[in-house]
A and B are shown apart, each in its own frame.
Chain A
Amino acid sequence: MIYLDHNATTPCDPVVLEEMKKWFTEMFFNPSSIYTASQRAKEAVEDARKKVARLLDASSEEIIFTSGGTESNNIAIIGTALLLKNRGNHIITSLIEHHAVLNVCKFLEKNMGFQVTYLPVDRYGIIDPDDVRKAINEKTMLISIMAANNEIGTIEPIEQIGKIAKENNIVFHCDGVQVAGKIPVSVKKLNVDFFSLSGHKFYGPKGIGALYVRKGVKFKPVFYGGHQEKGLRPGTENVPAMVGLGKACEIAEEKMAQDSSKEKILRDELEKKLVERIPEIIVNGHPEKRLYNTLNICVKYVEGESMLLHLDFEGICVSSGSACTSGSLEPSHVLLALGIPPEVAHGSLRFSLGRSNTMADIEKTADVLPEIVEKLRKMSPFWNKK
């Protein structure tokens, strides 16, 4: 099998899994209990927190464990909205955010009287910091912009947007799910107040994530219960998953430089070969300011799912747009925001590489896809009428 869908999820690193195991079984204790064995569990959680903090250039006290990226985004956005609703009711975000941000904003619009500005992007998917500045009004209390887009890989000017937020005393949340563990992140340099990450996007377990909350930044909890995570995200700690996330962060730090240079070579080769071999395709996303593992293309006159199915028959796993949108009939909201016509957006494929990929994977994919496209174009009324 050739797995080229790492932006959807990654396999849990066996070293991570090994590290997690004993916290399910012999070290199953609740970190909140007071006997010695529980204290070991408590220490394991705090050790994991340190590792997460180090990955982000934050301090341990600034890290809250959550169930993943979606929850981190929900807590940051809803938690800020609840706290600051009397100060203002205007949120700035972008058209290309993940649904775990967009649908939270839509919830606030519908149910809590918030007004949301969805900023456009240029044809590469870049948000203009000037547009952020212009969208600010006296009611603006929150800006939420992603660090890099999951579908096209475009990396946003977070540092500049963060500066604007700071100057205007507006809370800034950044959905960092696609960059954490992939590229170096310093929350200090980025000027962010909140930063979301998810374990399974960088070889950690599923069901665990974290939210960075800058020291001094407040929010109203979304969940209520016990004292865990300072009462900001109560619930008995998922110790094995937290340990796993910590380990994944540690490994990411070690391997990041090597992963990025290797995957970039493979991604660039795949891009080059596909552009050479398939007429009338479009490469989406920014040519340089793009995640090194991501390639998104639109193949004109062919529909994405049919290409995806044929690739699957060959044992190649990719996605069309985003895995989250595969179940819907709408073309990707991200590609539409780039100005791509809907009929072309339907023909999108996303390849996202990871640690296990080899040049042989790239060669096989680049051999197989042109044949698939040719076959499907023969079937397509539009290709035949050209």
Chain B
Amino acid sequence: MYSEKLLDHFKNPRNMGRIENADGIGKVGNPVCGDVMWIYIKVRDDRIADIKFETFGCGAAVATSSVITELARGKTLEEAEKITNQDVVDVLEGLPPLKKHCSLLAEQGLRAAINDYREKQRAKH
């Protein structure tokens, strides 16, 4: 059902945890649907200097969270915004059709964190 790659990210999730005083937080998903992803980012010079996630969800939800944080780390915000769910699926060497929404959640989570950061910046100025 799941690829070796996905099981590895599920077993050993990268960047799992919380960032205190994060510059941006993206909260996506709905507990009623069984998947919730919170993405935290720290931004330095328009670049994602640190990124972490907390996820309540299935194996695919955990693995897609882990992958999106790996893909985004070190990228400029502009680059990070271009990461799509397909990029996540490609890293995982595929996802079962029923779990495609998890990769979308990861994409949305990252974009929500970036938007949150930008809004906070705008509010400051």
Given the complex of chains A and B, what is the CA–CA distance between A191 and B55 in angstroms? Answer: 50
- Known contacts A379-B16, A379-B62, A381-B38: A306-B57 contact under CB 8 Å: yes
Indicate if B98 sits at the interface (CB-CB under 8 A): yes
B31 and A382 within 8 A (CB): yes
Docked pose: A313 CA to B59 CA in angstroms: 12
Residues of the A chain whose Cβ atoms lie less than 8 Å from the Cβ of B58: 303, 305-306
B2 nearest in chain A by CB position? A309
Interface-forming stretch among A40-48, A206-214, A326-334, A355-363? A326-334
Cβ of A346 within 8 Å of any chain B Cβ, yes or no, is yes
CB-defined contacts of B59 to chain A, threshold 8 Å? 305-306, 309
A279 close to chain B: CB less than 8 A:
no
Most B-side CB within 10 Å, residue of A303, A341, A342, A343? A303
Chain A residues packing against B (C-beta within 8 Å): 301-303, 305-306, 309, 313, 327-329, 331, 341-343, 346, 378-382, 384
Q: 7 nearest interchain CB pairs?
A: A343-B31, A346-B34, A305-B58, A381-B54, A342-B32, A380-B56, A381-B38
Interface residues of B (CB under 8 A from A): 2, 7, 10-11, 13, 16-18, 27, 31-36, 38, 54-59, 61-62, 98, 101
Instruction: Using A302-B56, A329-B98 as known contacts, list a sample of 7 further A-B pairs with CB atoms less than 8 Å apart, ordered by residue number in A.
Output: A329-B34, A342-B31, A342-B34, A380-B56, A381-B38, A382-B31, A382-B36
Write 18 A-B pairs (CB below 8 A) sorted by A numbering.
Answer: A302-B56, A303-B35, A305-B58, A306-B62, A313-B11, A329-B33, A329-B34, A342-B32, A342-B34, A343-B32, A343-B34, A379-B54, A379-B55, A380-B54, A380-B55, A381-B38, A382-B31, A382-B36
